[in-house]
Amino acid sequence: MPDHLYADIIIPLALDMSYTYLIGDTLKASVKRGSRVIVEFGKGRLYTGVVEKTHNEKPSHRVIKQIIDTTEFLPLINETQLDLWLWISHYYMCTMGEVLDAALPSGLKAIKDQDGYYSTRKDDFISLSRQYTEQELNNIFESIIRSPARTRLLLKYLELAGYPEKGSAPKPVGRSSLISEASVNPGVLTALVKANVLRQVKVESARLPDRELDRISPYELSPAQDTVRKELGKQLDEKGIALLQGVTSSGKTEIYIHLIEEQISSGRQVLYLLPEIALTAQIINRLRRHFGNWVGVYHSKFNDSERVEVWRRVAGEFREREYKIILGVRSSIFLPFGNLGLIIVDEEHDNSYKQVDPAPRYNARDASTMLARLHNAKVLFGSATPSIETRYNAETGKYGFVELAERFGKVHMPGIILADTSEAYRRKIMVSHFTHQLLNAIDEALNNNEQVVLLRNRRGFAPFIQCRECGWIPQCNSCSVSMTYHKNINRLVCHYCGSSSEILAKCPNCSSTDLVMKGFGTEKLEDELKALYPEAKIIRMDMDTTRRKGTFDRIISDLEKGKTDILIGTQMISKGLDFEGLTVVGIVNVDNMLHFPDFRSHEKCFQLIEQVSGRAGRRSKRGKVIIQTDDPNHPVMNQVMSHDYMRMYLSQRDERMEFGYPPFSRLIRIFVKHKDRKVLKETSQALAGLLKKSLGKRVLGPEFPLISRIQSYYIMTILLKIEKDKPVVRAKALIDMALKKTRDQYKSQSLRIYADVDPL
């Protein structure tokens, strides 16, 4: 056997291979598959890589660099995680380095002394200077009897430390909490430390502290819910994956809680996926009510160190503080689960489960099925409006299927009112952007001390500014989109690259000062409603108002407590929120979604309307939904009026079957980007030609997308439709060959080519 061992290391860069390093004698015992190691890549650049495998096969290249060191502390990346990364890399046609970069929190990739490096947090704690007998403690109290403050402090320490407990020493107590609880000044503690009665120690503490919670058993299910729970258990046992289609407010979450209870009782972990951070605020409280500090949360609003701490607690490093249930968004699938029993994908239809940019462009809903397979776990999809693909899998028997068709407590579904905006504009009875039907509903709700939600799926004040004289519209210099006006900062902002500019006083094209704002976003709605209802408490919830940590929770809390009268927001307000006082939902402009040029537009429009409608009237009073539209006779509007998901599903299924769209095919979209438009067209056409030679009529394009330039790069796309019964692995291999050949032929720093598998 050779003397040296080698390790193939995944570097967190977009590299199409792992790199082999020598394992030094001092590291042989600690380096294994999944270890995080520090290596030099390139000249003098240090990275934290992950060991993909170890072996004794000496590489062919002459110079073999040695692993510099392992990281200072665990956790390791476990075998199952590496297997998932490998699957994501193959299925979504990206590199292992890109998957690693997305999977690990920054604190686990940074090297010591680099920004973002994770270090454990240690706080000042107080303990006894040694283990005392009962008589020795009595002697100490006698010696300090003339100091009531010292006596009080020592008594409080013993109380908080759990003294006396048989078979265990008093535990350390936080310094600041001890001083506060004993109601003394810090000098009193200093005196006892100097007297060698107490001592101050550094103890690793949690950045995400646990809370003292009174846990209660899950609520008793209604007969309909209990029937569904039992049937789901049977379907999950038989098929491993099941879809729960339950109308809004049917009590799906309570069924989830009972299924989670079963998993925890059997010693398994649970991953509960949600599409939006906004949804975690309410559901985390419901879960902690039943499962206490076993519940952890994982999303991008946590800082790097907090995310590492969640990672460590899932990995089981803190046995007394282990997370058994994780509530999180799509990136939660990368956590180091060791014994996963159930994955719940709530609102499974939601687009937010798909990562768009950068790579890996994975869909957490679909990747969760592979994660479950690796853990021998089960997957439960839940939605009131399942995606066409998921519903088709249920229809054809690939997934189990259970339906919950009634609202909890037999509450009626909300009534739908279609308000014809084209007719209202013609008759000149619109008040700003509001029909009289919507304003009347708002008036009634406010008079009854009820709450209102208004959906406008466009943030900002005005989508664009236009010169009335010549029609000039300010465009982003780097993207082929108009700039959106944001009143709160009084600037024009590009929603694609983030660049901004000042408002011009006159048109640069014709020098006219007659510049007008066109269209409206959430910010403008907020402005206008405050003028119409000056006494009402109006809050806006979109990406602009929720950038700061904690703002989601504050907005949701104010709604729950009845402090907010009207909530205006983008689609993030449409899912999963449950407020007793909310009776009116208004959808201010639905036509942009309805007529968007995409084969999924009707499905997405129905889902969004049905989801946001479901926020209204979830208790005793029937809710009311007002949809403002220019096209009240559109088929989707008829389906929405009767909450008829199946009619929408069947029409979309049949249409997609006719034209060969998912679920009857797999889509792969190739993006080609270049800063030179002419070179881009030439490269795209050459690539499309190569693909058509091997894949024929399955290749469509190249063509410019709706937004054909972003961040100074021009874009063309090529769409591939692979029949569902054809081997997609073979197709991907042919695509990879074509991409590589094109990159080699058109070498340019500006050229970017990548694939998006299962694009939305």
Is residue 209 situated within a structural domain? no
Residue ending a domain, among 175, 204, 233, is 204
If asked whether residues 28 and 172 sit together in one domain, one would say no
Read off the pLDDT band of 753 (50, 70, 90).
Answer: very high
If asked whether residues 389 and 298 sit together in one domain, one would say yes
Residue ending a domain, among 500, 519, 538, is 519
If asked whether residues 44 and 155 sit together in one domain, one would say no
Are 213 and 288 within 8 A, CB to CB? yes
Q: What does DSSP assign to residue 475?
A: B
If asked whether residues 251 and 293 sit together in one domain, one would say yes
Is residue 660 situated within a structural domain? no
Place of tokens 């939660």: 332
pLDDT > 90? residue 219: no
Across residues 47-63, what is the average pLDDT?
Answer: 87
E strand or H helix that includes residue 335 = none
pLDDT > 50? residue 11: yes
If asked whether residues 452 and 542 sit together in one domain, one would say yes
List phi, psi (to 5°) of 494: -90, 125
Q: Please count the CA atoms within 13 angstroms of the CA of 136 that sit on its side-chain side.
A: 8
Strands 566-569 and 415-420: unpaired
If asked whether residues 309 and 363 sit together in one domain, one would say yes
Between the CA of residue 383 and those of 211, 243, 275, 606, what are the distances in Å?
Answer: 31, 8, 12, 13
Q: Which positions ≥6 away from 511 have C-beta within 8 Å?
A: none
If asked whether residues 345 and 296 sit together in one domain, one would say yes
If asked whether residues 247 and 361 sit together in one domain, one would say yes
Q: Which of 280-294, 390-404, 621-635 has the highest mean pLDDT?
A: 390-404
pTM exceeds 0.75, yes or no? yes
Is residue 109 situated within a structural domain? no
Number of domains, the chain = 6
The full DSSP string for 235-247 is HHHHHSEEEEEE-
Is residue 610 situated within a structural domain? yes
Is residue 116 situated within a structural domain? no
Is residue 251 situated within a structural domain? yes
If asked whether residues 273 and 404 sit together in one domain, one would say yes
Nearest to 707 by CA among 387, 480, 388: 480
656 or 623, greater pLDDT: 656
List phi, psi (to 5°) of 49: -110, 175
Are 619 and 411 within 8 A, CB to CB? yes
pLDDT in tens, 335-379: 999 999 999 999 999 999 999 989 999 999 999 999 999 999 999
If asked whether residues 467 and 563 sit together in one domain, one would say no
If asked whether residues 526 and 509 sit together in one domain, one would say no
What is the reported pLDDT for 1? Answer: 45
CATH number for 68: 3.40.1440.60
Other beta carbons within 10 Å of 518: 12
Is residue 694 situated within a structural domain? yes
Q: pLDDT exceeding 70 applies to what percent of the chain?
A: 94
| Average pLDDT score over the chain | 88
Q: Which domain holds residue 730?
A: 665-757
Of 293-302, 550-559, 591-600, the least confident: 550-559
Q: Which positions ≥6 away from 118 have C-beta within 8 Å?
A: 105, 107, 108, 110, 304, 305, 308
What is the reported pLDDT for 576? Answer: 58
If asked whether residues 235 and 199 sit together in one domain, one would say no
